[in-house]
Amino acid sequence: EVQLVESGGGLVQPGGSLRLSCAASGFTFTTYWMSWVRQAPGKGLEWLANIKQDGTEKYYVDSVKGRFTISRDNAKNSLYLQMNSLRVEDTAVYYCTRVRVPDAMSNWFDPWGQGTLVTVSS
């Protein structure tokens, strides 16, 4: 069974840091792009970052560029999101998801983890 399990969320003060992890199982992790998506309370989904299979390409939404870093450890089948300089508006559920990009016109996220809640508050 393909499974993604996030961890590392919690309460952090503004300006603080947090590192999220995502453990992947049930598929060949090294052959997929991976992504982080978040959802603020009562709000919609926001794509945050993608990382290529070998980690050589990374892309970020402007709102987190320079503050968040996506990375992966293929030996551990794990995806990470290092979050620095956290702001109140970063409060959200953070999802790890596998990316499919079979051709130049198509892409989708499947499956998704259950999410981990990050609360930024003083």
* Of the candidate residues 32, 35, 70, 83, the single one contacting other proteins (CB under 8 A): 35
Beta bridge partners of 110: none
* Of the candidate residues 8, 9, 23, 45, the single one contacting other proteins (CB under 8 A): 45
55: left (phi over 0), alpha (psi -120 to 50) or beta: left
- Whole-number Å distance between alpha carbons of 38 and 44: 8
* Of the candidate residues 9, 23, 59, 91, the single one contacting other proteins (CB under 8 A): 59
Binding to other proteins (CB under 8 A): which residues in 3-32?
Answer: none
Please count the CA atoms within 13 angstroms of the CA of 21 that sit on its side-chain side. Answer: 9
CB of 46 to other proteins, least distance (A): 7
Question: Which residues contact other proteins (rule: CB under 8 A)?
Answer: 35, 37, 44-47, 50, 59, 61, 95, 100, 102, 105-115
